Structure formats: structure tokens, C-alpha cells
Amino acid sequence: MASWVLSECGLKPLPPISSRPGIGILSHNNSPLKPRFLYTNRSITDPRLKLSSGCFRERTWGLRVSAPLRVAPIEGDGKEEKINVVDDIKGEEEADFFDPSAPPPFKLADIRAAIPKHCWVKNPWRSMSYVVRDVAVVFGLAAVAAYLNNWMAWPLYWAAQGTMFWALFVLGHDCGHGSFSNDPKLNSVVGHLLHSSILVPYHGWRISHRTHHQNHGHVENDESWHPLSERIYRSLDNITRTLRFLLPFPMLAYPVYLWGRSPGKTGSHFNPNSDLFVPNERKDVITSTICWTAMAALLVGLGFVMGPIQLLKLYGVPYWGFVMWLDLVTYLHHHGHEDKLPWYRGTEWSYLRGGLTTIDRDYGWINNIHHDIGTHVIHHLFPQIPHYHLIEATEAAKPVLGKYYREPQSSGPLPVHLIGSLIQSLKTDHYVSDTGDVVYYQTDPQQSKSE
């Protein structure tokens, strides 16, 4: 039956809406996927609806309603037809899609401007107060453990003292960045005392760690926990390849790294002639190596005084606890996010884009003990900010960072949730492609089977 428009001026037939009965309301391109009334911003006007007398005004027929899930059946069709809103959902998904490798719409200066000025202030007295606190706890724990000297207390001591050794490292780490104080001599003296006490060559580490910060996110130029290219990965012997991804061995890698660096790189943190260093840094490296040697000699002497077993219990086991903390925290700052994060080469890399691929982590009660080192994104971008301002600086920078900042998963008192992130990453993050300027970790199926 033909449709009609009734007006005060007369009757006129409407143009047909559907060319095929029983299909449903069609869009302008005869596709049943998009009904015409879904385009609520458009008006349906037809010049044929205007009479020559001009008494019939142009009408707007667009329905200003949200799209229904169903439309009423057309007469003669025994079924209701569902509207396909796939394209609308796709549009929403595209709006929500975020590419972490895309150049950010802000600059490093924008983040810097958002951070309060007092967050950049280094207070040497406050920094030293943390040193005094941590050193007092270290000696207190050792005294209590030696006094009790029973096998119920030792495991608790090892866990606590290993964590405190790690806290000492973080304070020395601040000295290496110059965020401890504005006095280079104070930073060097405190850094050497703290790092030498836990068998870390201060200057050797400081220089290589600076290289890490300046090149983070670059496949070839990054220094620590960077991805292996597929060529280097395939060149490793089976034992090395397996141990690199099999717990607990990756968490014991730090001493090996100090002596021989990562696969594909050569040099030693103890050797002043290593390609890690430039000629004018060699004296610093020699100084740190001498301090490290003096500490090693002191430990040997203590072994003769108290016996090797007692030294192992008081110092040896906590040292390896510290190494595991260092490797765990460092690894998870750069790996193991639920979404794959990019690594760069060539012109795609920049200091800002590399730094934005770092990850903050929540360590529960440990946050305060290890000086909020889990607040890592802002630290990586601005390592000169003291650790006691990192949380405030991060909160101030979040509105600028937007989706480039990834909120850490909340931790209970102890960060046991991070064990799952570690295991999953070791199972899947094996190597990156030899080619391409924006690459992501790939998985070796054979390696995953052996883990």
C-alpha cells in the first residue's frame, strides 16, 4: 500500500523506504547492517516534499533517539530482526585503542613543568638520615641473629637482612645519580661505603647504569635487562639459553653481569680498560675496584675470625638475598606488563619514548624499606629527583602522561603477586626481531616447553 503525506495543501506520495520487503530498514547503500535512523545527526529531506505553492515547508524526518536493540517486524515477516551494531562497537573500540609505541603528544618539558619545584630539592641531611637508619637496622639484625643463633631465627634473618642490603644498594644508587645531594664528594664517599659493603664496584656500576638510563628502550644500546635479538638468542648454547629463563637462575645474574655483562656485550665493571668506560673514567673505576677488593679482603679476615659457616649465615646468604631483590626489581621495571611494550631502534628511539616503557610496581610494606624504588617511571625520566619525592612527582605528572602511565597492581603487605608477572614474562619474553625499528618480545615455543 502506498504511503501518503497529509498536509493542509494536499497529498503527495512519499519516496519508497525499502526496495525489498521482508529485509528490514536499509541504509543508503542497501546494507542491512546500518539502519538509516541510526544516523541521528542527519536529516531526511526530499525536494519532492515541497509543493510549488510553497505552503508545504521542508520537514526533518531524522529520529532523535538512541539506536534500539531490535526493530518491530515488517508485516508479513514472522521474525524480529536484530540490528547489527558491529560497526558502532568497532568505532568505540578504535576510540579506546592505545598504541604504546606511538610518539607521545607531550614533551619531556611538559612533564617537568607539571612536577612541583620542591620535588627537585635534594636535602643531604634527610638523605643521610636514611643511611643512618638502614645501617643501624643492618647491624641490629646481625647482632640479634648472632645472639639467638638457632635455625628458627636464621631464615627470618636472611629474608630481612637481604632486603636491608638491597635498601643500602638503593641509597648508593641515589648517590650514583646525584639525587642524594648536590655535593659530588659526599655522593662519592657515601656511595663507595654503601656499595662496597655489598660487593658492588660503585663507579663501575654508576657509569654503566648511567648508560642504561640514557639508552633505555633501545634494543642494542641499552645496558641492563635489554632484549636479545633473535640472532644472538639463537647463538646461545642450550644451557645458557635455558638458565637465562629458568627460575631462580635469572635472579642470580647480577654478579655475573658485573664481571662479564650481558650476552652480546663484552667488558667488566672492574676493568678500567673495558669498553664500558672512556679514558677519563679509568681512575674512578680503579678506585672502586680497590674499595671492592678491600671489602672482599675484610670478609676473608672475618671468615678466619668467626669461621666460614658463621660468615655464610651472617653475610653470605643475605648477600644472595640482596642479589635476588636487585634482579627481581630491575627486571620487573622493564618486563612483565600484561600488555606488550615496545623496544626501539634507529630514529624511532628517543629518550622520552624509551623512558615511557618503564613500569611502576607496588611492593606493599617493602615500598618504604627500599625507598620507593618501585616508583620507577618518573625516576627513569628524571633520575635527579630524590627518592623521597618520587611519589608526589609521579602523582603530579600523571595528568600529562595519560595512558602512557600504567597504574601498578596494588600489593598486599608482601608483593607475592609479582611472582606471577615474573614467571609469565620469563615464559614469553625471549627475543626480538633482528629487523624493524619498533619491535616487541617474541616467544620461543621450544623454550616455553622446557620451562
Q: Is the pLDDT of residue 61 over 60?
A: no
Query: For the whole prediction, is pTM greater than 0.75?
Result: yes
What is the CA 337 to chain-centroid distance, rounded?
6
Q: Is the pLDDT of residue 50 over 90?
A: no
Query: Which is more confident, 36 or 133?
Result: 133
Q: Which whole number is the average pLDDT over 274-288?
A: 95
Q: Model confidence at 34, in pLDDT bands (50, 70, 90)?
A: very low
Q: Which whole number is the average pLDDT over 311-322?
A: 98
Per the prediction, the chain carries an average pLDDT of 84
Query: What is the rounded CA–CA span in Å between residue 401 and residue 110?
Result: 9
* 3-class DSSP string for the chain: CCCEEEECCEEEECCCCCCCCCCCCCCCCCCCCCCHHHCCCCCCCCHHHCCCCCCCCCCCCCCCCCCCCEECCCCCCCCCEECCCHHHHHHHHHHHCCCCCCCCCCCHHHHHHHCCHHHHCCCHHHHHHHHHHHHHHHHHHHHHHHHHCCCCHHHHHHHHHHHHHHHHHHHHHHHHHCCCCCCHHHHHHHHHHHHHHCCCCHHHHHHHHHHHHHHCCECCCCCCCCCCEHHHHHHCCHHHHHHHCCCCHHHHCHHHHHHHCCCCCCCCCCCCCCCCCCHHHHHHHHHHHHHHHHHHHHHHHHHHHHCHHHHHHHHHHHHHHHHHHHHHHHHHCCCCCCCCCCEECHHHCCHHHHHCCCCCCCCCCHHHHCCCCCCCHHHHHCCCCCHHHHHHHHHHHHHHHHHHCCCCCCCCCCCCHHHHHHHHHHHHCCEECCCCCEECCECCHHHHHHC
Task: Identify the pLDDT of residue 118.
Answer: 97
Main-chain phi, psi angles of 236, to 5 degrees: -70, 145
Task: Identify the pLDDT of residue 96.
Answer: 67
Task: Identify the pLDDT of residue 450.
Answer: 59
Task: Identify the pLDDT of residue 437.
Answer: 96
Task: Identify the pLDDT of residue 448.
Answer: 64
Q: Which whole number is the average pLDDT over 347-354?
A: 96
Task: Identify the pLDDT of residue 262.
Answer: 84
Task: Identify the pLDDT of residue 296.
Answer: 98
Task: Identify the pLDDT of residue 44.
Answer: 39
Q: Which whole number is the average pLDDT over 78-101?
A: 56
Q: Model confidence at 425, in pLDDT bands (50, 70, 90)?
A: very high
